[in-house]
């Protein structure tokens, strides 16, 4: 029998699929991130008599032998997280890895996950995008990750906890720049909220923010085509005619135009004819 990866609602219990409910009802055992929260879902849909085992970041290594034993005996096991799809930013991935390495069948059922609705609600380009998960809690490591991501032309999606969101946004602003972004919290719940704007604008509204949070940030910004691009070129040419160096022009226009230093410098050099003086 396979290991079933069963997505559960991220807020509204009505978002669970019929197939997930059937699998939870028919399987022999359920491994749950928090058995108390899983029991709420089971009770709502009248799923009785299930043997639940906790399986989370604290005890997953101790549970792996039990999971292996059940699967070896031909038992069916379902894994559920507190909310969303197991394996996304939790230890469900370790169980999947075990099954693949040892030849057990795995079935991943489609269902809720927070980053997809957050990405669409942001209004930013939905493809390509990069889902990172949780940024490191340590500031130096977090800034190192952001420094690696800053040149990518992909929309960036992060999970974050409410007690750390302000610090993370400060680092995003400092490392990535004041890009377009959104903060989405409490998806599918009563107090669902989406805050859109530049990172600096969102920062002003998040000191008291609560709930489960997804941050979406625009990828590396390039000079836009069309009329706006023409206006940028006109400004650069005007400053070149005044005798400013490419370095001084970038310094003068970067904040105003909200462009990355690298892309703006390249445009200045192109318009200047490649002279790097």
- Between 224 and 273, whose confidence is greater? 273
> Mean pLDDT of all residues in the chain?
91
Q: What is the domain range of residue 197? A: 115-217
- Looking at residue 265, its pLDDT comes to 84
Percent of the chain with pLDDT over 70: 94
Domain count, the chain: 3
Cα torsion through 179, 11, 92, 157, rounded to 10: -10
**Inter-residue contact 79 to 95 (CB < 8 Å):** yes
H or E stretch covering 54: strand 51-54
Model confidence at 275: pLDDT above 70: no
**pLDDT, tens digit (0-9, with 9 covering 90-100), for 232-261:** 788 888 888 888 888 888 888 877 776 677
Mean pLDDT of 36-43: 97
**pLDDT, tens digit (0-9, with 9 covering 90-100), for 121-171:** 999 999 899 999 999 999 999 999 999 999 899 999 999 999 999 999 999
The domain that contains 164 carries what CATH number? 3.30.950.10
- Looking at residue 157, its pLDDT comes to 98
Q: Does one domain contain both 85 and 147?
A: no
Q: Does one domain contain both 244 and 195?
A: no
Q: Does one domain contain both 135 and 104?
A: no
Band (pLDDT 50/70/90 cuts) for residue 267 is confident
**Inter-residue contact 88 to 40 (CB < 8 Å):** no
**112: nearest Cα among 19, 205, 198, 206:** 19
- Looking at residue 224, its pLDDT comes to 46
Whether pTM > 0.85 for this model: the answer is no
H or E stretch covering 178: none
């Amino acid at each position: 029998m396979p290991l079933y990866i069963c997505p559960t609602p991220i807020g509204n219990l009505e978002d669970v699929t019929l197939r997930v409910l059937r699998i939870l009802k028919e399987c022999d055992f359920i491994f749950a991130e928090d058995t108390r929260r899983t029991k709420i879902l089971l009770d709502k849909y009248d799923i009785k008599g299930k043997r639940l085992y906790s399986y989370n970041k604290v005890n997953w290594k101790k549970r792996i032998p039990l999971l292996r034993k059940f699967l070896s005996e031909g038992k069916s096991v379902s894994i559920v997280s507190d909310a969303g799809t197991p394996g996304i930013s939790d230890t469900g991935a370790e169980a999947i890895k075990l099954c693949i390495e040892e030849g057990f069948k795995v079935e991943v059922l489609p269902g809720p996950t927070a980053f997809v609705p957050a990405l669409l609600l942001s209004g930013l380009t939905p493809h390509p995008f990069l889902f990172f998960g949780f940024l490191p809690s340590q500031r130096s490591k977090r800034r190192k990750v952001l420094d690696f991501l800053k040149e990518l032309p992909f929309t960036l999606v992060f999970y974050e906890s409410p007690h750390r969101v302000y610090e993370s946004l400060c680092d995003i602003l400092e490392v990535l720049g004041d890009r377009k972004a959104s903060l989405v919290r409490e998806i599918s719940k009563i107090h669902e909220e989406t805050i859109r704007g530049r990172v600096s604008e969102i920062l002003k509204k998040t000191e008291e923010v609560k709930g489960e949070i997804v941050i979406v940030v625009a990828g590396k910004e390039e000079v836009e085509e069309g009329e706006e691009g023409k206006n940028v070129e006109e400004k650069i040419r005007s400053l070149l005619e005044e005798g400013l160096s490419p370095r001084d022009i970038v310094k003068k226009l970067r904040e105003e135009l909200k462009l990355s230093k690298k892309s703006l410098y390249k445009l200045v050099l192109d318009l200047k004819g490649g002279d790097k003086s």
